[in-house]
Amino acid sequence: MARDVWRIGPHGQNSVTDDSLGARAANFAGVAARLRRLDATMLVLLVFIAVLAFLVLNPILRLIVSSLQETDTGRFTLDNYRAAYGSLRHLEALANSLELGVGVSLLVTCFAVPIAWAVSRTDMPGKAFVRLTVFAAFVTPPYLGAIGWILLAGPNSGWLNKVWMALTGATHGIFNVYSMTGLILVIAVTSFPYTFVFTSSALDLVSSEMEDAANILGARTLRTTLRVTLPLVMPAIIGGIIISFLEAIALFGAPALIALPARFNVVSTQLWQFFEYPVRVEEAAAFAMPLLVITVLMFWLQRRILGRRGYTSVTGKGGERRMIALGPWRWVMLAYALVVGALSVFLPMLVLFQAAFSKAWGRGFSFDNLTLHNFYYLLFEQTQAKQTILNTFVYAAVTAFAAISLSLAIAYVVNRKLVPWSNVLAFLCMAPFVIPGVVLAIGFYAAYASPPLALYGTATILILGFTTRFLPIAYTSSAAGLRSINPEMEEAVRILGGSRFLAIRKVLIPLLKKSLAGAWILVFIPATRELSSAIFLVGPHTRVISVMLFDLSEEGNFEVLAALGVILLLATVAIAVIGTKIIGRDFMLRRNS
């Protein structure tokens, strides 16, 4: 599943190239014939297509249109662009975001690629534990990681600085989380799992034959790895770089916590400022445009770089795979993996749990500082917390179901070529992937908050927003699952007189059950912690944990914050573990099929 993420839709490899003109014409004629019949299946499919236009196309169009409109009259104007880019501070925010994106994607590559290689290709010990650590980093929301790192590396009060001052007798700490470096680190340690998953699943497919060839010709392990193995999985690595770049420039929570005290703005925090009074949705839309342009540019660049070369060893066909014996170096690799694990999981989690169970986190680890009151406060004294926790998991679950049903239907239409231009559908499904959450939320707000739909403050707008946001993940999983199933099986049903629905219900769904359950968890986890798009769409009764954490963080009440974070993490992990038990495999770290 992961391999497809770096190609927008499945049309990159298969569909476009092998469709000759004649085949397309024939296909079109067939479609026309089918359209005349217009059976119930077709109607349902058309409904799905309408839904997609509603979810993806309209909000983006509204965003672009409103960026060109006068606030009150709706007349065409370029003033929003002038206002959005006419200020030096706004331009600085843009430059800061670029720096952040580049920094994060480089650091992520340094973290993820060596570990992925060690886990997939070598005899490094403790692999199961390392995978578990990566999983833990995956479920940790970036803003929670940021809070952990504020407790660790606050310039005067952070644990690391306190330890440093105690050891050296220095009067000042050496780490300062309130800096660009701090922000880059915090985002990198929570987003490296994406690159890890891409790279390791690609490495899992590379057979040892090519490495053997290099070895026979005299190359050592290091040279072989750098010259043969890693270049073969370059598409995966570049995919990872792009994703972490986009993730970094689109995040809202971690920058809001760190960049403000550090005295700089990034695009997402600047976008938030446009929503301060007076609300300037149109200016926000104009300011969001570079994010869209950058994203499109990155994917175009990726195609240019990867387009003409062959990476055919990644065929999925067998070939023997042996683990490289590293000798004593295997311990070095393990140590490296553990250092990354410490930065991303062990240290932040340690201080978060400490804060969650303490009266005042600054007082440190002692029994008289221990309390359950933070949890008691949340669950019994706070009027909102219980509802908020419930909302979070209900919305995430519904989102996961909605995203998967929709994407499965569309993947089916695309894969079986039931309508002309089906690739457009695939593209629309993948498009939200390149739209930062904040931008998507602004589009949704502009399109659906006001009458006639008047969805502001309803659960519906949140679920719709989340569904759109995570549609690409659901779609890649569904498409990958579908491609592994030969249509002949359904055709057998149809030849024997069964309807398409029957074929889908009795053949397709049972075959896909496991990969759909895996996809469900893959959507569910990010949906439980989504902040960027939620922040503009929540109302007082539809708050989710991430937004509540953000509101609580204004006062810097880290004990209660940490307790709420612990509740979020434990519940998410519990659901993921139950899900994994049900589908009987590791949903995230192995390939589908």
Partner 1 sequence: MFRIRRRNFILGGSALLVAGAGRKALAQAATSMTSHEKALYEAAKKENGQLTWYTAQSDDITAQALGRSFESTYPGLKVDVLRTTAQVAYQRITQEIKASSIQCDVFSTTDIGHAVALKAKGDFEKYVPDNSGKVLDVYKNYDPDGYYFVTSAGMIGIGYNTTKVKEADAPKNWTDLLDPKWNNLIALGHPAFSGYVGTWALTMRNQYGWQFFEKLAKNNPRIGRSINDTVTMLNAGESEIAGSGPAGTLLESAQKGNPLAMVYPTDGTVLIIAPSGIMKGCKHPSGARLFMEFLMSEGASRIWVEHFNETIRPEVSAPKGAKSAKDVKTIHPTVEQITKGIPEIIKQWRETFGV
Binding stretches for partner 1 (CB under 8 A): 89, 154-157, 178, 259-261, 263-265, 273, 275-279, 281, 360-362, 370-373, 376-377, 381-384, 387, 445, 449-451, 454, 456-457, 536, 539-541, 543, 551-558, 560
Q: How far is the CB of 183 from partner 1 (least distance, A)?
A: 13
Q: How far is the CB of 155 from partner 1 (least distance, A)?
A: 7
Q: At what angle do helices 422-430 and 385-415 cross, to 10 degrees?
A: 150
* Cα–Cα distance, 409 to 414 (Å, whole number): 9
Q: Which is nearer to partner 1, 287 or 475 (CB)?
A: 287
Residues β-bridged to residue 69 = 76
Nearest CB to partner 1, comparing residues 271 and 414: 271
Q: How many CA atoms lie within 13 A of 139 on its CB side?
A: 23
Collapsing DSSP to helix, strand or coil, 230 comes out as helix
Least Cβ distance, residue 555 to partner 1 (angstroms): 4
**Minimum gap (Å) between residue 541 Cβ and partner 1:** 7
Task: Report the run of H or E that residue 417 belongs to, with start and end.
Answer: none
* Least CB distance to partner 1 at residue 585 (A): 40
Q: Which is nearer to partner 1, 259 or 267 (CB)?
A: 259
Shortest Å distance, C-beta 82 to partner 1: 18
DSSP secondary structure string, 450-509?
A: STTT--TTSHHHHHHHHHHHHHHHHHHHHHHHHHTS-THHHHHHHHTT--HHHHIIIIIH
Question: DSSP for 35-78?
Answer: HHH--HHHHHHHHHHHHHIIIIIHHHHHHHHHHTB-TTT--B-S
Closer residue to partner 1 (CB): 20 or 168: 168
Q: 415: which 2 tokens?
A: 């894969």
Nearer to partner 1, 77 or 382 (CB): 382
The least CB distance from residue 549 to partner 1, in Å, is: 12
Q: Which is nearer to partner 1, 365 or 376 (CB)?
A: 376
Best CA proximity match to 475, nearest among 52, 193, 136:
52
Nearest approach in angstroms of CB 44 to partner 1 is 32
Minimum CB separation from partner 1 for residue 145, in Å? 18
Nearer to partner 1, 144 or 482 (CB): 144
The secondary element (H helix, E strand) that includes residue 358 is none
Closest CA to 176 of 157, 189, 196, 202: 157
Q: Which is nearer to partner 1, 137 or 534 (CB)?
A: 534
Following DSSP, what letter does each residue of 246-299 receive, concatenated?
HHHHH--HHHHHHTTTTT---HHHHHHHHTSSSP-HHHHHHHHHHHHHHHHHHH
CB proximity list for 203: less than 8 A, separation 6 or greater: 116, 117, 120, 121, 229, 233, 236
Nearer to partner 1, 29 or 260 (CB): 260
Question: Could you tell me the smallest distance in angstroms from the CB atom of residue 275 to partner 1?
Answer: 6
Nearer residue to partner 1 within complex by CB, 71 or 405: 71
Rounded to the nearest whole angstrom, what is the least distance from the CB of residue 71 to partner 1 in the complex? 10
> Is there a contact between 78 and 68 (Cβ–Cβ < 8 Å)?
yes
C-beta closer to partner 1: residue 269 or 407: 269
Question: In angstroms, rounded to a whole number, what is the distance separating the alpha carbons of residues 298 and 215?
Answer: 35
For residue 580, which amino acid is it?
A: T
C-alpha 428/C-alpha 450 separation (Å) is 24
